[in-house]
Amino acid sequence: MEPSSDPVPDRIEVGALVLVRPRPEDCAELVAALSDSDEIARWTRIPYPYRPEDFDAWLARDGHSYLIRTEGRIIGTTGAGVDPATATAELGYWLAPHARGAGHAVTAARAVCELAFDRDAARIFASVIVGNLSSSVVLDRLGFTFEGVQRSVAAVNCGLGPARIDLQMWSLLPGELT
Ligand SMILES: CC(C)(COP(=O)(O)OP(=O)(O)OC[C@H]1O[C@@H](n2cnc3c(N)ncnc32)[C@H](O)[C@@H]1OP(=O)(O)O)[C@@H](O)C(=O)NCCC(=O)NCCS
């Protein structure tokens, strides 16, 4: 079956979290949330320092990611958009430092993985820079399988890390989400 190209839902409620699609008026709050953590620059491909222009570019090209909100406040983002050509989705997530340690990344990422499978994803993958232990734990909790390590990969946009990195590869197939 072809993966769905219909728009994703605007809002998903899951426990104490609300996942909402980003809108132009979210720019200042998201830029502020992303300025608060060197770890996001160290472990993700999110531009660093993050500027309003980066938000505008993200909004223009991204058709699937969600802001994670709790008590009305942005605490992170997540997404797993399905590429219709390959029925494959890449999972991504980050949380602001004050929101970590409460299981929110697992809860939010599980919701977008469910959505990707509902939209006929045949494979969801995620890559984690070696050393980012809390992210590896998140994937393990979701039921992802560790596939191996890609060595000495060019670190595109990883603002605070080395130019080349080792990348753990993880994948999740239909029926494996925990
Ligand atoms: C990855 C991230 C979203 C995880 O947030 P979180 O779900 O709140 O994760 P936690 O801080 O609860 O850590 C998850 C688990 O890893 C464990 N962990 C963290 N560091 C660890 C270490 N050095 N050794 C062993 N376990 C470790 C924690 O103890 C926790 O387990 P617990 O729930 O049993 O206590 C968050 O750290 C983040 O936003 N990091 C920066 C951006 C990022 O790395 N994004 C992912 C890119 S692949």
Write the pLDDT tens digit of every residue in 99-146.
999 999 999 999 999 999 999 999 999 999 999 999 999 999 999 999
pLDDT on residue 95: 97
What's at 30, amino acid-wise? Answer: L
pLDDT on residue 34: 93
pLDDT on residue 73: 96
Domain ranges of the chain: 11-172
Q: What phi-psi label fits residue 101: left (phi over 0), alpha (psi between -120 and 50 degrees) or beta? A: left
CA 89: distance to chain centroid? 11
pLDDT on residue 119: 97
pLDDT on residue 124: 98
pTM of the shown model: 0.94
Instruction: Give CA torsion, residues 78, 84, 88, 89, to 10 deg.
Output: 0
Distance 137 CA to ligand 1 centre (A): 6
Q: Which ligand 1 atom sits nearest the alpha carbon of residue 37? A: 41
Cα separation, 79 vs 87, whole angstroms: 15
The residue whose C-alpha atom lies closest to atom 32 belonging to ligand 1 is 101
Residues of the chain under the 70 pLDDT cut: 1, 157-160
Name the CATH superfamily, with its identifier, for domain 11-172.
Gcn5-related N-acetyltransferase (GNAT) (3.40.630.30)
